[in-house]
């Protein structure tokens, strides 16, 4: 388990010394070895607890649980595909020491946040995962990246500081671990819960606190977008899951409101996605809708809801980086990401459109792809505990299907005959590995969810 942190740590130290042509192989090797570790070495129940700053209540307490194991595996996988998507000298997929350094720092932070069993250590991981993205967005990407980076930093700073205030309020009352036996007074629970809600609403994000997300994704480079949407966005909902254990009364009382808020986010995200003219923006807004599913499931506070939420996170963590990678490739092929410029893409690059179809089907919730089991689980749980949300989920699904059908219709059809001259086999291009590394698990999780659930020791879907 410690190796998961030590390997990227060592990589960060030796990175400045590496010669330029070793950068990508080393980065890929680091991500691959962490993925293998996460897949084969972790076992739920492992834990480490070392005193670090005992006066502060900050201890180096790590543990693998049923819920963070899938996320750690996802973390390695998404980092690997982001690493494969980097390319030297390209503004949209940069391969420079600075970018790789900050991406790896974010990776280390995300791993720390996922593994943490200590409140302050989770905050440390959260900050490490969030702050590097300011530099990544500011550094490479579109023309308005400066504004996007400051949007990101502004929202994230508020979210991070609210989290810090909440964590410190608990820590000074000796609640330092997520599984500690200290019970929190009811009044304090509500205060902390409200502070935390601000964090989760911004970082998950929930409508209407999502404003930074389309900005950031619209301007960020492809690997940064892939990693941010794939894993870094999951740190907040995972935190919600963790903190619910120590604030049971507040969570219970807030549950109906929050479930409805999740439903509204789902519908709002779908509608916003439908309204976009830009492929990358469409993906970004669809992410908000998926986070709506996660929030509905988490707010209910049942084991089945938590599992469904983690499944949606995994599914979304596979589908959205894939779509961001596709959006980056589409821009290279078509010279534009506008939906109106998509017709004819299939003639130019059939393999890319095949990837696009798989990912779009996943977003539409087609059975057999990774988002389906989770979304189905959410609907089942919502049906049992909070049927009112179904009125929001139903239209949300329809709108989402319409959004992606529209994208597929344009990408697969149209175009002129002269476009059809495929100069080279597009499958063989550099970077396809990135797509494959996400598509195969996308199918695998979707087709055999029970196999994975067995691997994660969930004891079957409840």
**CB distance 319 to 255 below 8 Å:** no
Angle of helix 68-85 relative to helix 432-447, nearest 10 degrees? 160
Q: Does 109 bind another protein (CB under 8 A)?
A: yes
Among 26, 48, 154, 414, interactor with another protein by CB under 8 A: 154
Kindly determine how many residues on this chain lie close enough to bind another protein according to the rule CB under 8 A. Answer: 37
Among 39, 48, 161, 304, interactor with another protein by CB under 8 A: 161
Which range touches another protein (CB under 8 A), out of 17-25, 133-141, 315-323, 403-411? Answer: 133-141
Q: Does 168 bind another protein (CB under 8 A)?
A: yes
Q: In this complex, which beta carbon is closest to another protein, that of residue 164 or of residue 402? A: 164
The closest alpha carbon to 337, from 347, 325, 320, belongs to: 325
Q: In this complex, which beta carbon is closest to another protein, that of residue 169 or of residue 357? A: 169
Among 8, 76, 125, 301, interactor with another protein by CB under 8 A: 125
**CB distance 200 to 240 below 8 Å:** yes
HSE of 108 in the Cβ direction (CA atoms, 13 Å)?
A: 22
Binding mask 16-35 for another protein (x = CB under 8 A): x-------------------
The string of DSSP codes covering 376-436 is HHHHHHHHHH-GGGHHHHHHHHHHHHHHHHHHHHHHHS---GGGG---S-GGGSTTHHHHH
Near another protein in 374-433, by CB under 8 A: none
Q: Does 147 bind another protein (CB under 8 A)?
A: no
Q: How many CB atoms lie within 10 A of CB 246?
A: 20
Q: Does 52 bind another protein (CB under 8 A)?
A: yes
Q: In this complex, which beta carbon is closest to another protein, that of residue 161 or of residue 211? A: 161
- The Cα 377–Cα 281 span in angstroms is 27
- The Cα 28–Cα 26 span in angstroms is 5
Supply the minimum distance, in Å, between the C-beta of residue 222 and another protein: 17
- The Cα 235–Cα 109 span in angstroms is 10
Q: Does 56 bind another protein (CB under 8 A)?
A: yes
Place of tokens 């010279």: 335
Supply the minimum distance, in Å, between the C-beta of residue 131 and another protein: 6
Supply the minimum distance, in Å, between the C-beta of residue 150 and another protein: 8
Which range touches another protein (CB under 8 A), out of 90-98, 204-212, 289-297, 443-451? Answer: 90-98
Which range touches another protein (CB under 8 A), out of 97-105, 218-226, 313-321, 370-378? Answer: 97-105
Q: How far apart are the first and last CA of the chain?
A: 28
Among 33, 47, 96, 338, interactor with another protein by CB under 8 A: 96
Among 33, 47, 147, 169, interactor with another protein by CB under 8 A: 169
- The Cα 109–Cα 130 span in angstroms is 8
Among 135, 296, 364, 371, interactor with another protein by CB under 8 A: 135
Q: In this complex, which beta carbon is closest to another protein, that of residue 96 or of residue 426? A: 96
The alpha carbon dihedral of 72, 75, 77, 83 has a sign of negative
- The Cα 447–Cα 86 span in angstroms is 30
Among 37, 85, 148, 153, interactor with another protein by CB under 8 A: 153
Under 8 Å CB-to-CB from 244, ≥6 apart: which residues? 251, 298, 301
Binding mask 172-191 for another protein (x = CB under 8 A): x-------------------
3-state secondary structure of 230: helix
Among 35, 119, 128, 379, interactor with another protein by CB under 8 A: 128
- The Cα 263–Cα 399 span in angstroms is 13
Q: Does 459 bind another protein (CB under 8 A)?
A: no
Angle of helix 279-300 relative to helix 222-230, nearest 10 degrees? 20
Which residues here bind another protein, judged by CB under 8 A? 16, 52-58, 96-99, 102, 109, 120, 124-125, 127-128, 131, 134-135, 138-139, 150, 153-154, 157-158, 160-161, 164-165, 168-169, 171-172
């Amino acid at each position: 388990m410690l190796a998961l942190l030590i390997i990227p740590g060592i990589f960060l130290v030796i990175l400045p010394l590496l010669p330029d042509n070793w950068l990508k192989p080393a980065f890929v090797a680091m991500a691959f070895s962490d993925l293998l570790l996460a897949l084969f070495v972790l076992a739920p129940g492992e834990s480490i607890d070392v005193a670090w700053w005992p006066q502060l209540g900050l201890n180096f307490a790590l543990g693998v649980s049923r819920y963070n194991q899938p996320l750690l595996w996802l973390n390695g996988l998404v980092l690997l595909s982001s690493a494969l998507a980097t390319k030297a000298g390209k503004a949209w997929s940069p391969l420079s020491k600075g970018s790789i350094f900050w991406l790896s720092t974010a990776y280390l932070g995300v791993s720390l946040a996922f593994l943490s069993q200590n409140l302050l250590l989770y905050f440390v991981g959260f900050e490490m995962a969030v702050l590097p993205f300011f530099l990544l967005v500011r550094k490479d990407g579109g023309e308005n990246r400066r504004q996007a980076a400051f949007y990101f930093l502004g929202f994230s700073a508020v979210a991070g500081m609210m989290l810090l205030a909440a964590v410190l309020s608990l820590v000074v009352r000796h609640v330092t671990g997520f599984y500690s036996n200290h019970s929190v007074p009811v009044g304090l629970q509500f205060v902390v819960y409200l502070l935390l809600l601000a964090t989760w609403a911004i970082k998950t994000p929930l409508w209407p606190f999502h404003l930074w997300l389309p900005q950031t994704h619209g301007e960020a480079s492809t690997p940064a977008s892939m990693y941010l949407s794939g894993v870094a966005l999951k740190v907040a909902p995972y935190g919600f899951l963790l903190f619910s254990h120590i604030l049971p009364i507040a969570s219970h009382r807030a549950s109906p409101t929050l479930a409805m808020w999740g439903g509204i986010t789902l519908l709002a995200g779908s509608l916003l996605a439908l309204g976009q003219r830009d492929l990358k923006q469409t993906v970004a807004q669809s992410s908000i809708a998926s986070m709506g599913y996660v929030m509905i499931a988490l707010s209910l506070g049942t084991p089945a809801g938590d599992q469904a939420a983690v499944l949606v996170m995994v599914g979304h963590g596979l589908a959205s980086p894939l779509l961001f990678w596709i959006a980056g490739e589409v821009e290279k092929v078509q010279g534009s990401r506008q939906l109106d410029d998509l017709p004819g893409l299939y003639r130019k690059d059939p393999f890319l459109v095949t990837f696009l179809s798989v990912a779009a089907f996943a977003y539409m919730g087609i059975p057999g792809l990774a988002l389906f089991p989770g979304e189905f689980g959410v609907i089942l749980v919502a049906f049992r505990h909070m049927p009112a949300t179904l009125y929001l989920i139903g239209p949300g699904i329809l709108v989402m299907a319409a959004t992606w059908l529209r994208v597929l219709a344009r990408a697969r059809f149209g175009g002129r005959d002269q476009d059809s001259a495929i100069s080279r086999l597009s499958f063989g291009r550099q970077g396809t590995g990135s797509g494959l590394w996400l598509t195969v698990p996308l199918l695998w999780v979707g087709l055999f969810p029970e196999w994975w659930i067995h691997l994660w020791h969930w004891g079957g879907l409840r």
